[in-house]
């Protein structure tokens, strides 16, 4: 079987990339002697202290993979030696360190230092370009101590701005105009020429298993789930017309009086005047009642219009945020690509040849037209 390995000598400081072509039943001890020759370890005197540094069978150096010693009597096919493995001789310090963990991770998603990922636990962390900053951003436009991030035990985060607040925005909104100092997970802060984003840390979750030939790992690529269809067209309701008060019906009020006077003169019946006097009173009472009801009805229409308008605007804003999040998810930034590839995580090789974004790469961050229409 043929394997490509990286051999590291922590004591001598040497390393070498080798191609191992060995029988699957060869022992790790025999292979260790040959690997040692590639970095000049052969013949070096190593004083064993404790378990680390002990020589393997036949004087061969101990082999460490992923920080653990490999049994010298184990066969190659039964050992953790796999394609691309880093092999440390005599001491595990030459192995690649495991992935750092944390409660949240701070990603530099845009700017000169894009691609850096910092895993953070509970505590306070200074962010800036200065040497004293815990999270150093390689951006000359960022102050030496620009931000301070506070991470609580429940994962909630707050941010304090030490530089000019007008030049620092959170998802496009100036930090100085926001209520509170919360930094929601998934939100991006623009400071200087850089974009930094907070996200919840997720451990590697790719489905891996040893291949049948023992050379490498088999990866089970899950199906790619597309985001659900979103409503992108919104229509605001028509505003109600301004309330117009009806004029007093003077003509209708005076007509019965004139008719009553004529009737009295013709028929000599004075009670016609009583009936004529009641008619304008009823007319005016009905007028003022309709006017009061009209005002209430118009106020109700205005209230319903404002509530419906506010609800539609809120839905449109939520659709805009969902579109932004979907775009960030579909076209990952360099920091996300690093986490997915080194984990590995389930998004590794998620794009198929038939996908429209199969070879689509992200080269920056900018403002693009939205699909949401209001």
DSSP 131-150: TT-SEE---TTS-TT-EEEE
**pLDDT for 46:** 35
Domain identity same for 162 and 189: yes
Residue 136, CA atoms < 13 Å, CB-side half-sphere: 7
Residue 352 lies in a domain: no
Residue 227 lies in a domain: no
Residue 241 lies in a domain: no
Count of domains for the chain: 3
Of 307, 326, 345, which one is at a domain's C-terminal end? Answer: 326
Residue 243 lies in a domain: no
Residue 259, CA atoms < 13 Å, CB-side half-sphere: 11
pLDDT band at 213 (very low <50, low <70, confident <90, very high): confident
Q: Which position has the higher pLDDT, 318 or 299? A: 318
Q: Residue 216 pLDDT > 50, yes or no?
A: yes
Domain identity same for 60 and 111: no
How much of the chain exceeds pLDDT 90, in percent?
26
**Radius of gyration (C-alpha) of the chain in whole angstroms:** 39
How much of the chain exceeds pLDDT 70, in percent?
80
Spatial neighbors of 103 by CB under 8 A, at least 6 apart, are 120, 121, 122, 151, 155, 200, 201
Question: What mean pLDDT is predicted for residues 352-363?
Answer: 87
Domain identity same for 80 and 118: no
What's the mean pLDDT when you consider all of the chain? 82
Question: What mean pLDDT is predicted for residues 303-315?
Answer: 88
Using CA atoms, how far residue 37 sits from 8, 16, 32, in Å, is: 11, 10, 9
pLDDT band at 25 (very low <50, low <70, confident <90, very high): confident
Show the domain range for 322.
Answer: 250-326
Residue 62, CA atoms < 13 Å, CB-side half-sphere: 24
Of 47, 65, 94, which one is at a domain's C-terminal end? Answer: 94
**pLDDT for 48:** 37
Domain identity same for 128 and 190: yes
pLDDT band at 269 (very low <50, low <70, confident <90, very high): low
- Give bridge partners of residue 75 from the DSSP assignment: 27
In terms of Cβ atoms closer than 10 Å to its own Cβ (0-12, 13-18, 19+), residue 257 is middle
Which tokens go with 305?
């219009």
Q: Residue 35 pLDDT > 80, yes or no?
A: yes
Domain identity same for 156 and 71: no
Which tokens go with 341?
């590839």
Domain identity same for 85 and 123: no
Residue 217 lies in a domain: no
In terms of Cβ atoms closer than 10 Å to its own Cβ (0-12, 13-18, 19+), residue 158 is middle
Mind listing the pLDDT tens digit for each residue in 239-265? Answer: 877 756 666 665 666 676 666 666 667
Domain identity same for 187 and 257: no
Residue 349 lies in a domain: no
Domain identity same for 90 and 172: no
**pLDDT for 288:** 67
What stretches of 98-170 adopt beta strand conformation (E)? 104-110, 117-120, 123-128, 135-136, 147-151, 157-161, 169-170
Which DSSP helix (H) or strand (E) runs through 21?
strand 14-21
Stated pTM of the model: 0.70
Cis peptide before 365 (omega within 30 of 0): no
Of 65, 94, 123, which one is at a domain's C-terminal end? Answer: 94
Residue 365 lies in a domain: no
d(CA 358, CA 331): 11
Domain identity same for 69 and 121: no
Q: Residue 196 pLDDT > 90, yes or no?
A: yes
Residue 330 CA to chain centroid, in angstroms?
11
**Tell me, what CATH number does 196's domain have?**
2.60.200.20
Domain identity same for 59 and 135: no
Residue 236 lies in a domain: no
**pLDDT for 264:** 66
Domain identity same for 53 and 130: no
pLDDT band at 194 (very low <50, low <70, confident <90, very high): very high
Strands 135-136 and 157-161 turn out to be unpaired
Domain identity same for 166 and 119: yes
**pLDDT for 184:** 92
């Amino acid at each position: 079987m043929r394997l490509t390995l990286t051999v590291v000598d922590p004591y001598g400081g040497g390393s070498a990339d080798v191609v191992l072509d060995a029988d699957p039943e060869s022992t790790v001890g025999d292979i260790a002697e040959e690997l040692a020759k590639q970095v000049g370890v052969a013949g070096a005197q190593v004083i064993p202290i404790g378990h680390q540094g002990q020589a393997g069978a036949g004087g061969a150096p101990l082999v460490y993979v992923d920080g653990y010693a490999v049994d010298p009597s184990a066969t190659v096919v039964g050992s953790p030696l796999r394609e691309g493995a880093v092999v440390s001789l005599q001491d595990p310090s030459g192995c690649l360190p495991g992935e750092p963990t944390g409660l949240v991770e701070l990603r530099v998603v845009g700017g000169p230092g894009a691609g850096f990922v910092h895993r953070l636990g509970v505590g306070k962390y200074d962010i800036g370009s200065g040497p004293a900053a815990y999270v150093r951003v390689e951006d000359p436009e960022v102050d030496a101590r620009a931000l301070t991030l506070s991470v609580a035990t429940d994962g909630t985060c707050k941010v304090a701005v030490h530089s000019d607040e007008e030049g620092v925005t959170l998802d496009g909104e100036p930090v100085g105009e926001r209520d509170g100092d919360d930094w929601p997970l998934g939100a991006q802060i623009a400071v200087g020429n850089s974009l930094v984003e907070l996200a919840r840390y997720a451990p590697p979750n790719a489905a891996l298993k040893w291949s049948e030939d023992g050379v490498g790992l088999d990866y089970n690529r899950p199906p790619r789930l597309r985001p659900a269809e979103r409503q992108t067209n919104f229509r605001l309701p028509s505003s109600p017309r301004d309330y117009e008060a009806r004029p007093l019906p003077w003509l209708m009020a005076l007509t019965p009086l004139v008719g009553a006077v004529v009737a009295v003169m013709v028929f000599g019946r004075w009670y016609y005047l009583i009936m004529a006097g009641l008619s304008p009173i009823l007319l005016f009472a009905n007028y003022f009642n309709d006017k009061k009801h009209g005002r209430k009805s118009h106020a109700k229409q205005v209230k319903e219009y404002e509530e419906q308008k506010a609800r539609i605007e809120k839905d449109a804003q939520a659709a805009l945020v969902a579109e932004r999040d979907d775009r960030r998810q579909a076209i990952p930034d360099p920091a996300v690509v690093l986490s997915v590839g080194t984990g590995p995580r389930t998004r590794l090789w998620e794009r198929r040849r038939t996908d429209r974004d199969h070879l689509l790469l992200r080269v920056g961050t900018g403002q693009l037209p939205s699909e949401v229409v209001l």
